[in-house]
Structure 1
Amino acid sequence: MEQQWITGGTAATDGVTIKGLGDVRRAPGMRARAVGEGPAAAAVVGDCTLTEQELRTALPAVRAGRWAELTRWPGSYWVIADNGRQHFVCGDLAGLRAIYYTLQGERAAWATAARLLGCPLVPDLPWLAARLTAGEHHWPHHSPYERIHLVPGGFGLLLTPGALPQLIDVTGIEPVAELREGAAQFGRALTDAVQRRVHDADGVVGADLSGGLDSSAAVVLAAETAHVHAVTYTDGYTSAEDTAFASRVAEHTRIEHTTAAGGDAQLPFGFPAGQPAGTEPVLEAATYTMDACYLAPVRDLPVHLTGHGGDVVLDASASCWARLLQDGRRREAHRQVVAFARLRNTAPGPAWKTLKQAAGLGRSTALLRAAEALEHGPAAGERATGGWSWCRLGAGASWLTGHGRHQVAALLRQAAREQQPEHADEFDQWAALRSVGASARGWEPYAHALGIQPVYPYLDNQVVRAAFAVPALARRGLVAYKPLLRAALPQLPDWLTSRRSKGSFTAQRIAGLARHHGRLTELVGASPLAAAGLIDPAAVQTVLAQTARGHNATAIADLHHLLVTCWWLTGQKARLEAAC
């Protein structure tokens, strides 16, 4: 099989040729290092301070095909390598540095952006409907487009002449026994990920400061070595506690701090004219006006720190209790569930029932049961109970037409046959990591439009590896929230790490639905998902009206996904029609 290879950013590219690697295109300003010796060649493209000499020491691994060794440098980057027999390309563990590929006759083409593959970008409507119904994590190799595949975060793509493309696992997690054992390693990795970036920026750096633990920790670390200008968003719906914590962190670190006050014009789901759409739907599309409001003071700074991804690496979901049940540790699992429920004044019974069912079914069976439920008739969305399941059909399940249910069921059956982790905690943490990686990747055109250069220290390979080395159960914590952060960074003030609450934008989203209700109703009705007979607009509009009145807040997350998908698809349709 003949291969062609492309790499680069999503901006306009310039071409360079690297011996042994073919035509490598990179975006202007994108850092690249390349070495070659005999048939072996390797290149690193992206946010990595690796020197050519350091990269040269990796050539023995290239010759031997030890591909995972090429992913262990600090930063966030792509790796391209060739040993004369095989060609290897890899992004990061989170999927922020994405790799797309497609088969074009006798050739396999790959690129770091789907549009660079040179084939039509036709949205995969059944898959988008399935993602709205059951979540995207069951199909980690799918892109939003027909016949274009996505290399899942944690895997690389290996191309061998005469063979089909092969996915290579590069996760390389080395487990530790307990939190204390892994905390120091995580602390060093996160500190380096933050401070290396702000040091390289050599000037004022911007930073999100929501008042939550993740962004606050990044700001504290950055302020130790750089001049930081942090920004916070607030409006009439923002938690006063969040704002107070943000102000206290700014005072503690003595940084420059701007709080931007938004109003009705900044409420979600406005989708103003001229808003960039990007090449995949992301939740942040709904909050573009909020972002434009609070990020304006730090526009054009060389670096902008975020806490994005902190929830995934610092915490764990109730899947860790399902894992206890899978391991036969029923008594410990029950004790954890009851203790967690008591701390939050909730009944443990529903969560315990859900966890037992998840552990008993397993992933494949759970997906097959969800498919069967869809095929047998309209399915009501399952209400979250605080437990965990392999496949929870959300409110989107009740919006599907008969045709839509059969399409989604077929995709669920396909996913049940594909290989994924069968341990609940491993499956869930990788699914969550890829989800936040996709979110960061999809926000790139918005960042570009707003003049922001975002960095995501919590998503660096070595930070993720250090976090996931700690058992999910230890990261979950009962008494302390995000105990890994407290143990890893003892210099953080106790008043910050002892915070147990977490803010949300639910109130803003409900207000945004009410403000833009008429336009959103039209958007759903005109969506390609409705035109293809996959969703019933009337069913959506009923839930939309209820939620806009504050009567069905449990559906807000599913509506958010649906609305940004409909808006994105409408823009994609317009672009396709203009190209014809």
Structure 2
Amino acid sequence: MRWSAGWHGSAGSDRRPAGGRTVPGLREVWTCGWPEARVRAVGDGPVALAVIGECGADDAQLRDALPVVRAEGWRALTRWPGSYLVIARSGETLAVIGDLAGQHPVYYRTDAAGTWWSTAASALAALDGAPVDVTALAAHLAFGQPDVLAERSLFRDVQRVPGGHLLLVGPGGVAVEPYEPAAYAPVGLREQAPVVRAALAEAVAARIDDRPVSADLAGLDSTTLACLAAQRGPVAAVTFADERLRDDDLAFAARTAATVPGLAHHPVPGAPGTVYYAGLDDLPGLPLTDAPNAYVVTASIKRAVLDTVAGNTPGPGVHFTGAAGDAVLSAPSSYLADLLRERRHRRAWQHALGHARLRHTSSFAVLSRARPASRVDLAGAWWQTAAELRRPVRDWIPQAQRPLAWTPLLASADWMTPDVRGLLADAVDEAAGALSDAPARLSDWSDRQDLARVGANTSGWRALALAGHGIELAAPFLDNEVIRACLAVPADERGAPGQYKPLLDAAFTGTGVLPGFVLARSTKGGFNALAYAGLRDNAPVLRELLGPSSHLAALGLVTEQPVADALARAAAGQPTAQGALHLVVAAEVWLRQLAAAPATWWEEVSGRVAAA
């Protein structure tokens, strides 16, 4: 696994990352698993700057940024294209800055001697064998929003730097400070469209060098990236084309490849084993990740795609995916709650009519679902959630039929023991009481949480691509500058029901990058058929994973009967809580991997035995 770490203390540390390489110019900062080309550093006396990952700044731009480091203008160091970690030293102050989407997270722990920081919480836990934090894992399963218990990692005594914040370590101790506003100043869609186009083009260009290039070619988001990449050279474009999907991804992909020079199209046929939950009886065959990863559920599908890429490129290269395109280019209907809160009743009614037509329901039903969330702020919503956790569990109904909420309580919360639900309720109450600088709009909060969740999961997909094929996964929609450009457009403009992804249409119409028929597309592929096929075909493995021997069950995070009922419904082809099942299966796999094969994270430096 790729990770970075550093030590800041009055004396040197007795350990260092196993196999780690020191970052030039930064004392006691190391990287593990990163290729040398993705670790760059510049310095001038007491001022130093390093970027780790895919950073579009060249060496001259990095050197020109040293005065910015000296002046501690931290946010400016996050404005280059790409996705990367920043480590900057100004005198005795060290700043560690992750990205907005959590692909480069930052964790830390302190003691009397100093502070360790790392991009891997598991590594910091291994310093003294810190166990999993059951309450934090419960929050992960119950909410799917990383910033609810913002500063708690999944390990006890390991702190997390929340999204949009940075870690400062210096003579005065440790501080966590925001570098990103809770919400962006709104910019109209038409005005912002060229900014979005430029940000995406720069994000793609930042990844293209002498490596072979491949890309998903399926929905609007991945097609946009594939076409941008094709402007710079040949692209091996792949479409997962299992006949059970019954969507039009393949037809659009073939037509796009026939129209856009530089795209060589390669369909990926499905097979009996390319379904959800395949391969979970072989946990050593899955890469260990720092947190539960949703892509363990779809690993067989992703491997089929990567096999096709490997078979049609001269060697390991960079593969573009449209992950997070939905999160930044459109918006869920939860923004209706914001319109109601702001008393924009005419616009709320107009949009409710459109959403009602799409869902074959009434506009009154749409607005009534949004109204409760419009009457409460984030802290109040958390207090309501805590109260709900203390009540008896609910009967299951699809999430889309429940009222909109700032932090929706997922079905997985109803599978926990009362004791764990009580601990989680107490933690949510505490978080609500400590909340500061919260966004006023539900859409601003949920957009950031969606991105953080997708970013964490994409890191797991990246680990799968690297471990099995040596392929570097690129997800430009998760880049800082792309996020900023897109989310500056208000949610009610990005998610307007009359047009599918109007921001993308405004950004690329008339540019020649995307064919007109792509921009006119209003359909989206889905994997429901493969999800239910996987639930049916792999039911015995899932029952074993989540049955009496379950690690989650031992912690009180699932109880056997509700999960068995959900699996039985799924095996019979009936609607079930698919998202909750994804979360608990991924968490169970992760816990079993941690227990079965602990990684060796550290090595001894001076005499004492290092943590394993």
Taking structure 1 as reference, are residues 12 and 437 closer, same or farther at Cα in structure 2, changes over 3 Å only?
Answer: farther
Alignment of 1:123-272 (within 5 A): 123-137=132-146, 138-170=148-180, 175-198=185-208, 200=209, 202=210, 204-209=212-217, 211-254=218-261, 255-270=263-278, 271-272=280-281
Taking structure 1 as reference, are residues 158 and 577 closer, same or farther at Cα in structure 2, changes over 3 Å only?
Answer: closer
- Indicate which of 7, 12, 29 corresponds to 1:23: 29
Shift of 1:88: 0.5
Q: Does 1:310 align with 2:325?
A: yes
- Indicate which of 418, 426, 433 corresponds to 1:410: 426
- Indicate which of 425, 438, 441 corresponds to 2:459: 441
| 3-state SS, counterpart of residue 405 of structure 2 | coil
- Partner Cα separation in structure 2 for residue 533 and residue 436 of structure 1: 26
Aligned 8 A contact 2:166 2:178 in 1: yes
Greater helix proportion: 1
Q: Percent identity?
A: 35
Q: Does 1:346 align with 2:346?
A: no
| 3-state SS, counterpart of residue 443 of structure 1 | helix
Aligned counterpart, 1:40: 47
Aligned 8 A contact 2:41 2:48 in 1: yes
The one-letter code of the counterpart of 2:473 is P
Shift of 1:122: 2.5
Taking structure 1 as reference, are residues 324 and 12 closer, same or farther at Cα in structure 2, changes over 3 Å only?
Answer: farther
Deviations 1:213-261 (A, max 9, x none): 0001111111122100011212232133122122222222242111121
Shift of 1:180: 0.6
Answer 1 or 2: higher relative contact order, Cα 8 Å, separation at least 6. Answer: 2
- Indicate which of 548, 557, 567 corresponds to 1:534: 557
The one-letter code of the counterpart of 2:249 is D
The one-letter code of the counterpart of 1:524 is L
Taking structure 1 as reference, are residues 512 and 105 closer, same or farther at Cα in structure 2, changes over 3 Å only?
Answer: farther
Q: Does 1:280 align with 2:291?
A: yes
Alignment of 1:309-328 (within 5 A): 309-328=324-343
CA RMSD of aligned residues (A): 2.5
Aligned 8 A contact 1:268 1:508 in 2: yes
Shift of 1:84: 1.3
- Partner Cα separation in structure 2 for residue 219 and residue 354 of structure 1: 38
Taking structure 1 as reference, are residues 3 and 108 closer, same or farther at Cα in structure 2, changes over 3 Å only?
Answer: farther
- Indicate which of 371, 375, 380 corresponds to 1:360: 375
- Partner Cα separation in structure 2 for residue 374 and residue 176 of structure 1: 35
Shift of 1:131: 2.1
| 3-state SS, counterpart of residue 136 of structure 1 | coil
The one-letter code of the counterpart of 2:195 is Q
- Partner Cα separation in structure 2 for residue 95 and residue 345 of structure 1: 36
- Partner Cα separation in structure 1 for residue 11 and residue 133 of structure 2: 24
The one-letter code of the counterpart of 1:408 is L
Deviations 1:402-449 (A, max 9, x none): 112212212221332233323211111111111111111222321112
Shift of 1:502: 1.5
Aligned counterpart, 2:404: 388
Aligned counterpart, 2:605: none
| 3-state SS, counterpart of residue 446 of structure 2 | helix
Q: Does 1:570 align with 2:592?
A: yes
Deviations 1:10-31 (A, max 9, x none): 9953224415x54343523342
- Partner Cα separation in structure 2 for residue 350 and residue 58 of structure 1: 53
Q: Does 1:547 align with 2:563?
A: no
- Segments of 5+ residues of structure 1 without an aligned counterpart are none
Count matched residues: 572
- Indicate which of 294, 302, 321 corresponds to 1:291: 302
Aligned counterpart, 1:503: 525
Aligned 8 A contact 1:339 1:478 in 2: yes
| 3-state SS, counterpart of residue 48 of structure 2 | strand
Aligned 8 A contact 1:269 1:513 in 2: yes
- Partner Cα separation in structure 2 for residue 577 and residue 96 of structure 1: 20
Shift of 1:382: 5.5
- Partner Cα separation in structure 2 for residue 242 and residue 482 of structure 1: 16
- Partner Cα separation in structure 1 for residue 244 and residue 12 of structure 2: 48
Aligned counterpart, 2:494: 475
| 3-state SS, counterpart of residue 298 of structure 2 | helix
- Partner Cα separation in structure 2 for residue 249 and residue 291 of structure 1: 22
Using the size of structure 1 for normalisation, the TM-score is 0.92
- Segments of 5+ residues of structure 2 without an aligned counterpart are 1-7, 601-610
Shift of 1:494: 2.4
Using the size of structure 2 for normalisation, the TM-score is 0.88
- Partner Cα separation in structure 1 for residue 360 and residue 391 of structure 2: 37
- Indicate which of 94, 111, 114 corresponds to 1:87: 94
- Indicate which of 332, 340, 344 corresponds to 1:329: 344
Taking structure 1 as reference, are residues 226 and 572 closer, same or farther at Cα in structure 2, changes over 3 Å only?
Answer: same
Taking structure 1 as reference, are residues 142 and 389 closer, same or farther at Cα in structure 2, changes over 3 Å only?
Answer: same
The one-letter code of the counterpart of 2:383 is L
The one-letter code of the counterpart of 1:353 is S
Aligned 8 A contact 2:465 2:473 in 1: yes
| 3-state SS, counterpart of residue 266 of structure 1 | coil
- Partner Cα separation in structure 1 for residue 29 and residue 391 of structure 2: 51
- Partner Cα separation in structure 2 for residue 190 and residue 350 of structure 1: 37
Alignment of 1:369-380 (within 5 A): 369-380=384-395
| 3-state SS, counterpart of residue 167 of structure 1 | strand
Shift of 1:182: 0.4
Aligned 8 A contact 1:154 1:170 in 2: yes
Aligned 8 A contact 1:125 1:529 in 2: no
Shift of 1:276: 1.9
Shift of 1:4: 9.0
Q: Does 1:423 align with 2:423?
A: no
Aligned counterpart, 1:559: 581
Shift of 1:3: 7.3
